[in-house]
Structure 1
Amino acid sequence: EVRGEPDPRSGYIIGIDKIDKAVRQTVLKPLRKALRGEDSRELHELVLDLASQTQGALQRPISGFKLRVTPRHELGWISTETGCMPKPGDTMSTEEMELMIRIQFEFAASHRLHCAEESDEWNREAFGKCNNPAGHGHNYRVEVCVSPDLSGEGSTRMGFETVEAIVKREVIDRFDHRNLNEQCEEFERLNPSVENITSVSRDLLLSPLAEAGGRLREITVWETEKTS
């Protein structure tokens, strides 16, 4: 991620060809080495080094760097203070950098959007087909972004496996293949809209993630491709 003011002539902040060249020069060889098991560093350490090397190749600050490990797993760094990655060999300050773990999940559930305190006519007007008395279903997609604690000189005890286990236990297993209105106590008196599902999921995750050494930065729930 590169930030700045667009060039007044080209309208570019930086040409994408320059970014592509820098990434190819600095990232591909170390990644191949890591995939062959020839790099003993933790993944977050490797990614930070790749970010620093890429910044050096670009010869300008970069404020964020992400590695998509799988279609559902992403690990990245952002600069929270200086607006740039540390130079190779520099000591990292946890006040200046933040590590982010981002994972996507899915669950299938049915629900009915209905406010019991309102009239049937009001509910039909407000929710349309989603007020169908028999309910309807969705394949929900959930994306969670967690920032692990790095106070121990840049080390962390939280990785993909820890985040996955917590989200699966607290959210996915709780809601998957359930009628949210009738089988989940969280929605006995709360309309299971995508907004409320997101809010409930956030509340379910905050404490377990904190106890495991992480902070929930973001959570997004998609009901459909158009609705989140």
Structure 2
Amino acid sequence: MVYLTRLMHFNAAHKLYNPAWTQEKNEQVFGVCANENWHGHNFDLYVTIKGEVDEDTGFLMDVKQLKKIITEQVIKKVDHKNLNLDVDFLKGKMCSTENLAIGIWNQLTPHLPQNVQLHCIKLYETPRIFVEYFG
């Protein structure tokens, strides 16, 4: 089994806010992340796939094709967007980094070749905070 990781980058704004709660409770739970004027992050996205190496190419997967899938299915939908308002796969969900990682997994999985499995989504919100999702 070989693991291959592609690093991508995007910028996006969001806020953490539960509409069923009062402003005070949102601020208590989410702090400055509940700012009504939003806030942004420079996200680093690590997409790790796994599988067997193709004998003819020596590749697990053509990295140009992997980049194209990630760009089409994720980056174009989230880069320079408001995650709460603009991203279809996050509609109705709290726009946490955890939910974003799960959403990215769900966006990518159906578009990978049959011989390749998604192994991990690692999503850095800041240099010190990241989420890993293994499906």
State the TM bucket, normalised to the shorter chain. Answer: 0.7 to 0.9
For each residue in 1:107-128, what CA deviation from the matched residue of structure 2 results, as whole angstroms up to 9, or x when unmatched? 0000011111222221111110
Q: Contact between 1:149 and 1:215, CA under 8 Å: does it hold in 2?
A: no
Superposed CA RMSD: 2.0
**How far does residue 150 in structure 1 lie from its aligned partner after superposition?**
4.2
Amino acid at match of 2:81: R
Equivalent positions of 1:134-153 (< 5 A) are 134-150=37-53
Distance in 1 separating the partners of 2:76 and 2:48: 19
1:185 aligns with 2:88: yes
**Superposed structure 1 runs of 4+ greater than 3 Å apart:** 148-157
Q: 1:13-36: per-residue Cα shift (whole Å, max 9, x none)?
A: xxxxxxxxxxxxxxxxxxxxxxxx
Structure 2 Cα separation of the partners of residues 180 and 209 of structure 1: 24
8 Å Cα contact 2:41/2:126 also seen in 1: yes
For the residue of structure 1 that corresponds to 2:129, the secondary structure is coil
Query: Structure 1 residues 104, 157: closer, same or farther in 2, change over 3 A?
Result: closer
Aligned to 1:139, the other structure's residue is in SS state strand
SS in 2 for 1:134: coil
**Between structures 1 and 2, the one with greater strand share:** 2
Choose which of 86, 99, 105 in structure 2 pairs with 1:202: 105
CA distance in 1, matches of 2:86, 2:106: 19
2:118 is aligned with what amino acid?
L
Structure 2 distance, partners of 1:162, 1:210, is 10
Q: Percent identity?
A: 25
Q: Deviations over 1:153-191 (max 9, x none)?
A: 896572211111111111111100001111112223111
Residue 124 in structure 1 maps to residue 27 in structure 2:
yes
Task: Give me the whole-angstrom Cα distance separating, in 1, the residues matched to 2:71 and 2:57.
Answer: 27
Q: Does 1:215 align with 2:102?
A: no
Whole-angstrom distance in 2 between the partners of 1:210 and 1:126? 41
Alignment size in residue pairs: 130
Structure 2 CA distance for aligned equivalents of residues 163 and 200 of structure 1: 17
Q: Is the 8 A contact 1:108 1:137 kept in 2?
A: yes
The question of 1:170 aligning with 2:70 is answered no
Whole-Å Cα distance in 2 between the matches of residues 126 and 157 of structure 1?
Answer: 43
TM-score by length of 2: 0.87
Shift of 1:152: 6.4
Q: Which structure ranks higher in relative contact order (CA pairs < 8 Å, sequence separation ≥ 6)?
A: 2
Contact kept? 2:10, 2:42, Cα under 8 Å: yes
1:157–1:195 CA distance, 2 compared to 1 (3 A): closer
- Normalising by structure 1, we get a TM-score of 0.53
Aligned to 2:127: 225
**Structure 2 portions without partners, runs of 5+:** 131-135
